[in-house]
């Protein structure tokens, strides 16, 4: 496929690239970045309350905050154990927060929820803080100066689960759409999602010491 363009068109295209973050990529007004400042939480239980209150307000249906389209999220049967000596575990969905591709550095450093994980099965899972028939919110941000993932379960009494956070930079090929997936990392699955347009976040989901 060949497309013919003029220099003028290329100049405008270049300019519009700079303009895009300010206008074209603005999320719908009801879906704001799910920024949650955990540093102000009194204790663990309070941090869970803060996240659940922010992500499950009674006035807004949850599906308006998270993209439920099959192509932008993922649904897989996660593995128990380490491949190749592994068995199938629960069926789990991961869905991106609709504003995840618009986060700023400040949002991410403060901390924001970028995706939710839904356990469709009645079994618990050792990673990602997944309890039976649970919805878990994936928060990324700084904790004691270090970038981490925290998985907040909505299961009654569940504690926050701190895990690693790896960030991939791809400024030359930004994602204009929030995406979340289960990806394979040599011997096990990882959660993967858009942090902002030019970065992607990954987490193994195992507890961080």
Contact residues for other proteins, defined by CB under 8 A: 1-8, 10-11, 70-71, 74-77, 79-80, 83-84, 86-91, 121, 123, 176-177, 181, 183-184
Residue 62's contacts (CB-CB under 8 Å, 6 or more residues apart) are 55, 56, 116
Give the residue with the Cβ less far from other proteins, 36 or 79: 79
Give the residue with the Cβ less far from other proteins, 3 or 23: 3
Picking from 102, 111, 161, the residue whose alpha carbon sits closest to that of residue 136 is 161
C-beta of 21: minimal distance to other proteins in Å?
Answer: 16
Distances 80 to 41, 50, 61, 123, 145 between C-alpha atoms, Å:
33, 31, 32, 11, 32
Distances 110 to 4, 68, 118 between C-alpha atoms, Å:
44, 26, 25
Give the residue with the Cβ less far from other proteins, 49 or 177: 177
C-beta of 160: minimal distance to other proteins in Å?
Answer: 27
Q: Tokens standing for 128?
A: 């990602």
Distance between CA atoms of 37 and 163, rounded to whole angstroms? 17
C-beta of 2: minimal distance to other proteins in Å?
Answer: 6
Distances 95 to 42, 84, 109, 164 between C-alpha atoms, Å:
29, 27, 22, 19
Give the residue with the Cβ less far from other proteins, 89 or 111: 89
Picking from 174, 171, 180, the residue whose alpha carbon sits closest to that of residue 201 is 180
C-beta of 6: minimal distance to other proteins in Å?
Answer: 5
C-beta of 122: minimal distance to other proteins in Å?
Answer: 9
C-beta of 75: minimal distance to other proteins in Å?
Answer: 5
Give the residue with the Cβ less far from other proteins, 9 or 62: 9
Give the residue with the Cβ less far from other proteins, 41 or 188: 188
Task: Indicate the burial class of 92 (C-beta count within 10 angstroms; 0-12, 13-18, 19 or more).
Answer: buried
């Amino acid at each position: 496929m060949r497309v013919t363009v003029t220099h003028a068109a290329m100049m405008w295209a270049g300019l519009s690239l700079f303009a895009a973050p300010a206008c074209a990529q603005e999320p719908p007004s009801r879906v704001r970045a799910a920024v949650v400042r955990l540093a102000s939480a009194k204790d663990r239980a309070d941090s869970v309350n803060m996240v659940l209150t922010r992500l499950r307000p009674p006035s807004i249906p949850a599906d308006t905050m998270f993209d439920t389209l099959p192509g932008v999220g993922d649904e897989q049967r996660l593995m128990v154990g380490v491949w190749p000596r592994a068995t199938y575990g629960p069926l789990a969905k991961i869905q991106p927060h609709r504003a995840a591709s618009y986060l700023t550095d400040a949002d991410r450093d403060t901390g924001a929820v970028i995706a939710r994980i839904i356990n469709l099965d009645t079994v618990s899972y050792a990673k990602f803080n997944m309890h039976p028939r649970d919805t878990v919110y994936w928060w990324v941000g700084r904790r004691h100066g270090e970038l981490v993932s925290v998985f907040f379960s909505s299961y009654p009494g569940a504690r926050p689960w701190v895990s690693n956070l790896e960030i991939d930079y791809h400024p030359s090929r930004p994602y204009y759409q929030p995406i979340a997936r289960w990806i394979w990392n040599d011997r096990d699955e990882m959660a993967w999602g858009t942090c902002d347009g030019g970065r992607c976040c990954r987490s193994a989901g195992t507890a961080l010491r």
